[in-house]
Amino acid sequence: MSTMSDEFEELETLEEIEEDEELLNEAGSVDRKELLSHPIVLPLTKTMDNYSFPSVLLSPRLYIIYENDRYFQLFSTPEGQIPRSFAQDFPHDLSTEKIGTIYTSLHSKTEGYSFRGRLQAIHHHMINQIFNVNISPIFGEDSENPLVYQAFLDNVTLEQNNLLHNTFLSLLEASKLKDNDTGNHIQRVGEYSKILSQYLFEHKLSSDITPEFIHNIQFLAQMHDVGKIGTPDDILNKEGPLEDHEWEIMREHTINGAYIMSTYPHSMAREIALFHHEHWDGKGYPYKLAGDMIPISSRIVAIADVYDALRMKRSYKTAFNHKKALEIILEQKGSHFDPQLISAFLKVHEQFDNLYEELKD
């Protein structure tokens, strides 16, 4: 016996759905124009146009047959014609299995022919959006099964991000109590990382850099040394150079940080904490990764962190001016740092200097 999920397994890909003319015509059922002209459906479209939140009407096969302006602003592209599969607007979240689950719920009397859940979408601005989604049935006068479905989307991205950031900022504050580094140092590293990432994005120098990447790295770069929470105070705040065995303990902050940040819902958090001390030539720590094996987020933060450390006065060194810091970083192009990123850094280094002066301690 086949299930509705099995039926969706047979569709395999969104491309096949789009190319299947029989499905686009609702498998012989009434077409989109007839649905929209139905005396129960037509007034809904007028009402939806006044909604202040995104909303769509879905056919029984989960094709979008109508979208209000709020929804259009978020999801529609020149290729996003109607009708189109609802799954097409959530390609990073709605797997075949998940869309099958939603389909089954919407066709189940025991589930009230409805669905409530949370979906994520990366819309045309390349920013991850989080929505609480409520899909409800609309019945015809003499119909036992839903005629169409109305989906309401509540954008909770800001709320969720603020909650998440506040949770991890408490860890950041705890790490500051353990370390001589100031809050301004942490903030500057985040801003430097944003500046460099923005340049890479604007000049299309890396396909990995998106607006979502830039947004994340600005915050997560500040968490790069959160693992120092687990470093003993006598080592962390020691005056003068560390002994070899002390360095071994100090280096563990990368692994500790990765463990702490593994609960963050984006892999970049763990990558930065774990790999920001790896070197392009494979002589860094903790795993001696080399070249492109090091995530680009970690390579960016490495430059930001070292630049700011050079500018700051430490117990074992004096503060360097911008010119001297620039010279030291250039000397390590291809050894400590990714050569391509250093070339980009040379285009924005004055912004680093201006930022340091603006936010210096």
Residues taking part in catalysis: 228
**Which residues make beta-bridge pairs with 131?**
119, 155
- Using the structure block, give the residue that is written with the tokens 């630049």: 307
Six token digits for residue 10:
């047979």
* Of 37, 89, 86, residue with least CA distance to 62: 86
Q: What Cα–Cα distance (Å) separates residue 305 from each residue in 1, 158, 233, 290?
A: 59, 28, 21, 18
3-class state of residue 102 by DSSP: helix
Q: Which H, E and C letters describe 290-318, residue by residue?
A: CHHHCCHHHHHHHHHHHHHHHHCCECCEC
Two tokens at 350? 């004055």
Q: For residue 71, what are its two tokens? A: 């929804």
The residue written with tokens 């070339």 in the block is 343
The first and second tokens of residue 190, run together, are 């985040």
**How far apart, in whole angstroms, are the C-alpha atoms of residue 301 and residue 296?**
9
